[in-house]
Structure 1
Amino acid sequence: MRTDTPVTIRRQNYLPFPYDIATVRLEFDLDPADTLVRSLLEVRRTGEGPLVLDGEELELVAVKVDGRDWSGHYQVDGSTLTLDDLGVQAQVEIVSRCRPEANSALMGLYISNGVFFTQCEAEGFRRITWFPDRPDVMSRYSVVLRADKKRFPQLLSNGNLVKQADLPDGRHEAHWEDPFPKPCYLFALVAGTLTWRESRMRTRSGREVLLQVYSDPGSEAKTQYALESLERAVRWDEQRFSLELDLDRFMIVAARDFNMGAMENKGLNIFNAAYVLADPESATDANFSAIEAVIGHEYFHNWTGNRVTCRDWFQLSLKEGLTVFRDQEFTADMMAQGLDAQAAASARTVKRIDDVVTLRAAQFPEDAGPMAHPIRPESYQEIGNFYTATVYEKGAEVIRMQQTLLTPAGFTRGLAEYFRRHDGQAVTCDDFVAAMESVYVQDHPGRDLSVFRRWYSQAGTPRVRVTIEHDAATRRCTVTLAQRCEPVGVERLPGAPAKQPFHIPFAIGLLDAQGRALPLEQAGGHEVRDTALLELTTEHAQWTFENIDARPVPSLLRDFSAPVIVEYDYTDHELALLMKHDGNAFARWEAGQQLATRVILAATRERQEGKPFVLHGDFIEAWRSVLAAPGLDAAYRARALTLPSEKTLAEHMAKVDPVALAAVRDETLGALGRALADDWRAAIDANQTPGDYSPDPVSAGKRALKNLALATLMAGRVDGAAELALRQYDTARNMTDRLSALSSLVNFGAPDAAARVLADFYDRWQDDPLVVDKWFTLQATARGTTVQTVEGLMAHTAFSLRNPNRARSLVFQFCLNNPYGFHRADGSGYRYWASQVLALDALNPEIAARLARALDRWVRYVPELSDPMRQALQQVRSHPGLSRNVTEIVSKALEIAA
């Protein structure tokens, strides 16, 4: 749907829907070009007004009420069907047509690779049939699917299969019933020729359930890991939160064309094939990890999202933030499974580091830009634009803080109370916090979560300034925390309310000059421990610790206990000490990141002033200390030795010069490669993984460190590195090692050698779409790639802008992750961006809007870049017929950011 005047929808205007729809019966006569849909709704009036139903891209065939033709009693106006003169109760029958084959937006019912799929979240059901397309209308669904049996032998929908039959005209039908009420966004159907892998297991109550993973014929060998991941997720949710699978079967289906990662439709999860299909030859360690996490995420939605769902879309983080937190915990537990206590703790820290890296690279910039919004937004023009890092990743951090405040045991009690109160309901974020607060007040008399609720209503990333004062005479150390959070996004507009303090759980430790942990004894005789959790609920507060002989070195925000930015004036010596000795592994990693950030930003400023690049010996020795330190496992070491990304570094610059920043980061990497060449070679030798491939965390960690070492040697153009990379590429027995070697050769090797291995890689994998996506991505992000290179790749026979994965692998990767090519001073990257946003908008507005975000913070860049960025944004905004999705993004970028 396209409009020149987007309508702003506000949370404060929410009203309950004035009708209950207890049951919905849907009958589909499936045809790619012309699908007939009959819906039968059992309607009961609960409020005032006519029955207003949503619909888009539909042809209305007939309307009946209680068996009578309702012509003359309904009106179709744009995207609504209004039925007048209904009684208190009525049976409404609607017949309509849709055209799945022509549906390039991939919302509603569409065709991918000859298979019918649906995507209904957030507002796709209205493209299937006329219905109140909102999450608070919950109904029990029965579904009948009919289709040609030869073309579409598998007919799947939500819930349990109750009947199948052949029809006399060569078609067949399947009847499905979902015993649980659900909103229409959780409806799903799949019909086509599919293969599947299955297993049976018993739940903790003794019920036998069927688990199935469906995919294209010929790909069944790549679904084993997905099925095993589903089994692990089912078991974990039973053990961790006592939540059991409530259906007789649970199905996952892989789709080649899909706008998102996956969708949690009740009992019939539809997945982007990238998060289902994997084997050692075609998938990397990162792919295997993502498959387990995403399968866990969508399965966990069965309770946190399906059994209890959102009252309205402003409450999206109610299900998404909570479920991201649950999948993070699941992955951390799976990584630690079977390891000794020390290794398990390290594995959990590695997972925590990965999550924080993602948060800082994606959500922190969003929180400071024109699209900034609280995890519970107050308004939107297009809900598809609010499936954001703020709702998901920051939402998960807000849940994690509640677990920190309640303790894990208290959080589990709070979650049980949440389900006791709200199972089968559509509720709000306030309802969730109220359930948690009921436990918190029991354990903390006289306190509540009233201040904590501000995390749901205020945007932006708080900054916490830390001050340390030590009194040698009294042996007391006083820690002062002061918080502030500047207005962001719409908060910068006139009339916005002032920010209030957040409730920030801030974990802290203190080290002496030798790096030993100091026992923390607060004034008043509080217990002694090495980590204290300080709860900051006001603008500033102080805590005093006793028996501290000398001024300590603080270890701040341990385990990233809150999504804030810490401000403390560390010396380089203090950061190096923390890197070597901090007993909190996350804080130890953080010290290294801060030291690297300081060094790279200083060198970038010097580069802008025309000074030569020099990497000082102290920094090199700090890196050597981690590379050679005993007792650190490979996975942790790989994270600790990885330089901060350009996106994370850019957040520390007043005006961003991405090319200068990327160049200095590359020079830093190369200097480390040359200075520590022997250590990197030793790391490669010590972290080989002979034998059959396994994606287990220990093996994956060794490959991560080995391949980081190879990339660093290549960046330094160290003698013999290119030969080492070529040998690894040729002899690799898994995609992780092969792709890592290829990446090093493409980015740091000789052009002829890079071209040769790129051609070989495509020849090997041209029939595997997911690997071809990797091939496109590697070239899109390569340091020598230009707009002309990308345009040439778009002309490749394997490229299609209509496929979201292919568009993301090339167009998105170039615009979002190639500072050298995209941010050229001639503005060619921004003109290319504008052309692709408009091309995608004509096909798939949801995907186009995500690409539009690439320039939403244009004011943060140096003037020679921000001016052509603004011109490109203006070009897009002035385009006739622009979708709501893209209009909202570019308008806010131009109006709020400026």
Structure 2
Amino acid sequence: MLDVQTAAHPHVTRREDYRPPDWLVPEIALDFDLDPAATRVKATLHVIRESAHDEPIRLDGGGQVPITVMVDGTPINDWRIEDETLVIPLSGSAHTIETEVEVAPERNTQLMGLYASGGNLCTQCEAEGFRRITFFPDRPDVLSRYKVRMTADKARFPVLLANGDPVDSGTLGDGRHWAEWHDPFPKPCYLFAMVAGDLVANRATFVTGSGREVALGIWVRAGDLSKTDHALEALKTAMAWDERVYGREYDLDVFNIVAVDDFNFGAMENKGLNIFNSRYVLADPDTATDYDFDAIAAVVAHEYFHNWSGNRVTCRDWFQLSLKEGFTVFRDQSFSADQGSAAVKRIEDVRGLRAAQFPEDAGPLAHPIRPDAYQEISNFYTATIYNKGAEVIRMMATMLGPKRFRAATDLYFERFDGTAATCEDFVACMEEAGGIDLGQFRLWYSQAGTPRVTASIEHDAGSGRAVLTLSQRTLPTPGEPDKAPMVLPLRLKLFGAETAKPIGPEQLVILTGAEERISFETVTQRPVLSINRGFSAPVIVETDRTAADLAFLSAHDDDPFARYEAMQQLMLDTLVAGANQGRANHQAVIDAIVNTLDDPQLDRAFVAEAVLLPSESFIGDQMPVVDPEAIFTAREALRRDIGHALDARWRAEYDAASATRFEYSPLAKGLRRLRTVALGYIAANGGDEAAALAFAQFEAADNMTDRQGALTTLVNGASDRRIAALDIFYNRYSDNALVLDKWFSTQALSPRDDTLATVQELAGHRDFTLANPNRARALVGAFSVNQRAFHSGNGAGYRFVTDQLIALDKLNPQTAAKLIPPLGRWRRFDAARGDLMRAELERIVGTPGLSKDMFEQASKSLEG
């Protein structure tokens, strides 16, 4: 931890200061004597001086106790520690360095390095956790081949796993045993992994395209074994998909996944030994929702795909983080789209982008997908790096087309296999194989902010000419007051207002200037514009389309995403008018919903997404000043009117979706999703009958999707049945940490007047702990995105979250820092709320002993 004086002047790492490593470490051998209280780590590093210089070798450290340091087999005394870095003067060009250190896994609450979780020992090294295990040049451009030996008590830690393939194992006479693993592929230290524990495996075999057999294992506690089949099937499906779509074959004899309860991230792609947050491994119908099943498949695929886009080709430095993360998110999104409804998947991806990344781009923490500087790299594991980074890859794929994009990725993998590459290397491969100039497109890597595209169309019925005018602008972001025009690939199409038929084929327009005009000939009827189809560019589109135009597109557009988008825009316009004026005409939205429900060509999953109202936070994003109460009131009024006007229809949809038993298929998922949406509208119409219906569903449900959907409906309402349902849910699942997280988050997300009081009480619940990141996110994180409750006018919500973050920072700075952004949006709200939020950020910055993770996030939120 840093004291406040140190935090006030933190070290800033800048991309422009990058220089290659002075020393390389082509080989490393690690010997672990494992014990939760005191683990001894012996490291043998074969080091080579890189280029002509006289610099000593600097090995990063973090919290370990050094015991011995040897060079070429001889103990030395002229080493020194500078800011936890081990500095060793060396005169020759190649040496062998041996160190022995001691670490304390059970006291490692930061969950970085080697730590204890649920009685097991595991590691997390990305981004800079390896330095907490042993002294090493902890940077991604130092690639090494690893040999690992682990010794541990056999009864306590019967399973010993590491990267690569197993080599040998044996028992010792004192009740201990050992195992050796070798990884033949050079990798950066952030990909190192090791697990020791009492675990069992769900095993399978995958045969690669070249005929090699790969032994697969999903390792969990014995009681969780039955919940691993879905993850194992997802892994096999992902391996086959990557071979088919990208030509990438797995390269080791073993691929293992280990589930742990205490984890800062979703999962980690360590070479051959992926370590996962248990929420992205464990699933069965009784404990996991359809969303959980889908997320598990996506995350399993994501981490597996990293074997090539991240491991075989890694990052030169952490400024290139989106090189592996943006590309791999794009790959996992494409995989998920192929497994079910591509349209629904695209809707979900864009909704997530708008919920997390657009506000980031519009706030004090805005940064490009390749940042220029950071104080703490863990703060740049952001929606911009991941989600916007994926959209940037998607734009290149759109401009190149499938064949040229595949050729470009083949070139990238072949050219940079076994090396640490840059974003520029990736883009250059796109240019070379795609035959395209991406000079201006590179601005996406260096310029922050979300472009806004204005589109208007003029039609001259006499001449049959239509002219589309497109313009773009990007608002200033911290440190970037002036923005250059971006390259925006916009898929668009015109429809005839009279015939509802397309006027010509879809076009891909590449907008490169501040303004461009596009002419269409022989347009004999008024055209209606469908733009940014498939969300081909991550932009905000502003058009002069009327409510009638939007309703028309929501009924007739042949691009599913554009159809959904038209409905959402119609709803947004209505809701913003209601929030601003106190009342709006809801009939156009109701009629559009009827048209959507009546269309037999639409699958139920798409219908459920299309008829769902935008979130309160997204409505607020459309307003100059966010008014949480006005937004809540306007949204509830529209929900109530939709529920009342279409009550019979919602009940029919509800009943039609209720006659099926659980199965995990696109059709069944769509029916369950629509059933939950219909139940919500029935409840919005009011009356105790809706609560009775929800409670009956809650009790009779044969799956968690239906059960939690009913619970959410009850928790958000006023019926006394909500208390009974919460008690039943808790008693049924009190021994299941992942399901109990749902119990906490469902209450934290409720729009009820008493949610803050409920959350404050839950913070003192015997099952609440800040030490577990999942539980902290389930209560504190969920409450902070509950727009109405968090932004209650007296500031009590801000004080509660700040108290929790300050306490969490002392345990786990990474998790705490990631929960600051809702406070950082203080400029978007009225002056009274803004002052209260700013005061809490100042309280965080002034806290003694604040971590640099928290300081960077809070101070930037104040200054940006």
Do they fold alike, i.e. is TM over 0.5?
Answer: yes
Number of the residue aligned with 1:205: 210
Output the CA distance in 1 between the equivalents of 2:590 and 2:502: 28
Matched, 1:228 2:233: yes
- Match runs of 1:420-439 below 5 Å: 420-439=414-433
* Deviation by residue 1:329-388 (Cα, 9 ceiling, x = unmatched): 0001111xxxxxxxxxxx111111110000011100001111100000011111000000
- Match runs of 1:386-401 below 5 Å: 386-401=380-395
Which residue, 455, 461, 472 being the options, matches 2:450?
461
Number of the residue aligned with 1:650: 620
Post-superposition offset of 1:668: 1.4
Number of the residue aligned with 2:501: 517
Post-superposition offset of 1:478: 1.6
Partner-residue secondary structure (3-state), 1:892: helix
Partner-residue secondary structure (3-state), 1:116: strand
Output the CA distance in 1 between the equivalents of 2:145 and 2:733: 45
Q: Give 2:49's aligned amino acid.
A: R
Output the CA distance in 2 between the equivalents of 1:581 and 1:377: 42
Post-superposition offset of 1:623: 1.7
Post-superposition offset of 1:406: 0.5
Post-superposition offset of 1:660: 2.2
Output the CA distance in 1 between the equivalents of 2:673 and 2:713: 13
Q: Which runs of 5+ in 2 are unaligned?
A: none
Would the alpha carbon gap of residues 114 and 830 (structure 1) be closer, same or farther in structure 2, given more than 3 Å must change?
same
Output the CA distance in 2 between the equivalents of 1:150 and 1:616: 66
Output the CA distance in 2 between the equivalents of 1:695 and 1:365: 34
Q: Which runs of 5+ in 1 are unaligned?
A: 336-346, 442-446, 493-497, 521-529, 608-612
Task: Tell me the TM-score normalized by structure 1.
Answer: 0.94
Output the CA distance in 1 between the equivalents of 2:683 and 2:280: 31
Number of the residue aligned with 1:489: 478
Matched, 1:756 2:724: yes
Number of the residue aligned with 1:524: none
Partner-residue secondary structure (3-state), 1:373: coil
Q: Give 1:788's aligned amino acid.
A: A
CA contact (8 A) 1:136 1:183 kept: yes
Number of the residue aligned with 2:849: 881
Number of the residue aligned with 1:591: 566
Partner-residue secondary structure (3-state), 1:566: strand
Post-superposition offset of 1:78: 1.8
Post-superposition offset of 1:614: 5.1
Matched, 1:701 2:701: no
Q: Give 1:32's aligned amino acid.
A: P
Output the CA distance in 1 between the equivalents of 2:823 and 2:850: 17
Matched, 1:65 2:49: no
Q: Give 2:57's aligned amino acid.
A: L
Output the CA distance in 2 between the equivalents of 1:472 and 1:757: 61
* Deviation by residue 1:669-688 (Cα, 9 ceiling, x = unmatched): 12211111011011112222
Post-superposition offset of 1:59: 0.4
Partner-residue secondary structure (3-state), 1:231: helix
- Match runs of 1:352-501 below 5 Å: 352-441=346-435, 447-492=436-481, 498-501=482-485
Output the CA distance in 2 between the equivalents of 1:438 and 1:465: 32
Output the CA distance in 2 between the equivalents of 1:718 and 1:233: 47
* Deviation by residue 1:185-229 (Cα, 9 ceiling, x = unmatched): 000000010111010121100001111000112110000101000
Output the CA distance in 1 between the equivalents of 2:89 and 2:81: 12
Moved more, 447-456 or 322-331: 447-456
Matched, 1:36 2:79: no
Partner-residue secondary structure (3-state), 1:143: strand
CA contact (8 A) 2:495 2:503 kept: no
CA contact (8 A) 2:400 2:434 kept: yes
Number of the residue aligned with 1:811: 780
Output the CA distance in 2 between the equivalents of 1:109 and 1:351: 36
Output the CA distance in 2 between the equivalents of 1:457 and 1:107: 30
Post-superposition offset of 1:517: 3.2
Q: Give 1:43's aligned amino acid.
A: V
Would the alpha carbon gap of residues 253 and 689 (structure 1) be closer, same or farther in structure 2, given more than 3 Å must change?
farther
Output the CA distance in 2 between the equivalents of 1:689 and 1:236: 34
CA contact (8 A) 1:308 1:425 kept: yes
Identity %: 50
Which residue, 656, 659, 667 being the options, matches 1:686?
656
Task: Tell me the TM-score normalized by structure 2.
Answer: 0.98
Output the CA distance in 2 between the equivalents of 1:515 and 1:819: 42
- Match runs of 1:441-840 below 5 Å: 441=435, 447-492=436-481, 498-514=482-498, 516-520=500-504, 530-607=505-582, 613=583, 615-691=585-661, 693-718=662-687, 720-750=689-719, 752-784=720-752, 785-816=754-785, 818-840=786-808
Post-superposition offset of 1:323: 0.2
Which residue, 113, 122, 126 being the options, matches 1:121?
126
CA contact (8 A) 2:498 2:526 kept: no
CA contact (8 A) 1:106 1:119 kept: yes
CA contact (8 A) 1:209 1:247 kept: yes
Post-superposition offset of 1:85: 2.6
CA contact (8 A) 1:20 1:44 kept: yes
Q: Give 2:65's aligned amino acid.
A: E
Output the CA distance in 1 between the equivalents of 2:293 and 2:502: 40
Number of the residue aligned with 2:60: 54
Q: Give 2:451's aligned amino acid.
A: P
CA contact (8 A) 2:691 2:721 kept: no
Partner-residue secondary structure (3-state), 1:179: strand
Aligned residues: 857
Output the CA distance in 2 between the equivalents of 1:512 and 1:545: 13
CA contact (8 A) 2:643 2:682 kept: yes
Output the CA distance in 1 between the equivalents of 2:688 and 2:520: 53
Would the alpha carbon gap of residues 598 and 639 (structure 1) be closer, same or farther in structure 2, given more than 3 Å must change?
same
Output the CA distance in 1 between the equivalents of 2:26 and 2:490: 47
Moved more, 156-165 or 853-862: 853-862
CA contact (8 A) 1:195 1:218 kept: no
Partner-residue secondary structure (3-state), 1:730: helix
CA contact (8 A) 1:255 1:272 kept: yes
Which residue, 252, 256, 260 being the options, matches 2:257?
252
Partner-residue secondary structure (3-state), 1:720: helix
Moved more, 849-858 or 621-630: 621-630
Number of the residue aligned with 2:837: 869
Q: Give 1:236's aligned amino acid.
A: W
Post-superposition offset of 1:65: 0.4
Output the CA distance in 2 between the equivalents of 1:218 and 1:65: 47
Post-superposition offset of 1:719: 6.2
Output the CA distance in 2 between the equivalents of 1:792 and 1:617: 41
Q: Give 2:619's aligned amino acid.
A: L
CA contact (8 A) 2:457 2:466 kept: yes
Post-superposition offset of 1:791: 2.3
Post-superposition offset of 1:667: 2.3
Output the CA distance in 2 between the equivalents of 1:201 and 1:848: 39
Output the CA distance in 2 between the equivalents of 1:657 and 1:262: 37
Post-superposition offset of 1:515: 5.3
RMSD over aligned CA atoms reads: 1.2
Q: Give 1:420's aligned amino acid.
A: E
* Deviation by residue 1:677-714 (Cα, 9 ceiling, x = unmatched): 011011112222523x2221111011000110001111
Post-superposition offset of 1:615: 4.4
Partner-residue secondary structure (3-state), 1:205: coil
Post-superposition offset of 1:54: 0.6
Partner-residue secondary structure (3-state), 1:23: strand
Matched, 1:89 2:97: no
CA contact (8 A) 1:746 1:754 kept: yes
* Deviation by residue 1:403-450 (Cα, 9 ceiling, x = unmatched): 100101111110000011100000100000000111221xxxxx5111
Output the CA distance in 1 between the equivalents of 2:479 and 2:759: 35
Number of the residue aligned with 1:846: 814
CA contact (8 A) 1:464 1:566 kept: yes
Output the CA distance in 2 between the equivalents of 1:616 and 1:23: 68
CA contact (8 A) 1:659 1:819 kept: no
CA contact (8 A) 2:101 2:134 kept: yes
